[in-house]
Amino acid sequence: MIRCIGIDPAPSKDTVVCEALESGDFVFTAWKPYEVRSRVQTLLGEAAGKGVPLVVTWDAPLGLDPGALPGTRNYASRRIDSAVTGWVKHLVKPSLTQPVAAGAVGVANASSCPHNLLTQHVWGLPVGEVPAHGARLLQPGEAASQPSPPCVLAEVHPAVAVAAWWLEQATIERPMPRYKPGGTANVEAAREGLVHVAKFLQTRFGDAFPFDAILSSKGAGGSDDRLDAWIAWRLAFDWTRGDARAVGPAHGGSYLLPNSVLRERLSTYLSKRKNAAHEPEWGDES
């Protein structure tokens, strides 16, 4: 049996952790910023001591991008982030029927991610060769296997994963909405988006999606943190079943994503970029 843990880290508020119980129910745990490192150490120590394979998914950058093209090596952005940014811009062109609303999938430069100090403290990443505590990073394209204790560690971007599932619908009745507040999204609009995304995931995953636990937390507002932690857990679980793979350049930043048209398109885009003098056009990605 492989244990899967999804973690939505937060540097200045509670980090939210999601795990499935044998009963099929989900448990969400909140960790204070100052205790995340010790909690992770305990988690991996228990896995090693019991010989239980563990997959941990982490919603924040876990690797730098070494760069494959002359002049592209830098410490500001990564190819996986710029690839998704280009894909989002392609989708929201006015001439297209938008399957994803503007602002629904936000990708910041890795260097400006507010989680970096916490991630460095907990894992020794993204600035480091290997993660701490004996964990190892999941490699792009790596197939599911029986992980050796203490754990396999993978980076996730929940909104990109939701978009991948969203695009698999036979009929897209409305664009995927933004479900996180901040920036130009007010709390009310984000709440409406969270409910809509939760209903979509409930339809897709049925009882395997903890609808009530996500929407009943934080009073009547619901919790996008719990949603992100559950998505992180789901991607770890799907990887163990061969239903998800990491996409990104070798030895660089990568996202664990569900097997989907989007993952294939990102893989194709990145492979074209590797040997190109200029960015490939998203209109030719399929």
CA 163 to chain centre: 11
Q: Using CB atoms within 10 A of its CB, is residue 109 exposed (0-12), middle (13-18) or buried (19+)?
A: middle
User: pLDDT > 70: what percent of the chain?
Assistant: 86
DSSP character at residue 221: T
Amino acid present at 89: K
Instruction: Give the integer Cα–Cα distance in Å for 49 and 39.
Output: 15
Cis peptide before 149 (omega within 30 of 0): no
Q: Using CB atoms within 10 A of its CB, is residue 27 exposed (0-12), middle (13-18) or buried (19+)?
A: exposed
Instruction: Give the integer Cα–Cα distance in Å for 42 and 33.
Output: 15
Q: Please tell me the predicted confidence (pLDDT) of residue 266.
A: 87
What are 20's two structure tokens? 């499935």
Per-residue pLDDT tens digits for 93-111? 665 567 888 889 988 888 8
Per-residue pLDDT tens digits for 40-60? 999 999 998 998 899 999 999
> pLDDT band at residue 220, thresholds of 50, 70 and 90?
very low
Domain boundaries, the chain: 3-284
Yes or no: say if 286 and 266 are a contact pair by the CB < 8 Å rule. Answer: no
Yes or no: say if 26 and 20 are a contact pair by the CB < 8 Å rule. Answer: yes
pTM, to two decimals: 0.91
Does 41 or 276 have the greater pLDDT score? 41
What are 30's two structure tokens? 């909140």
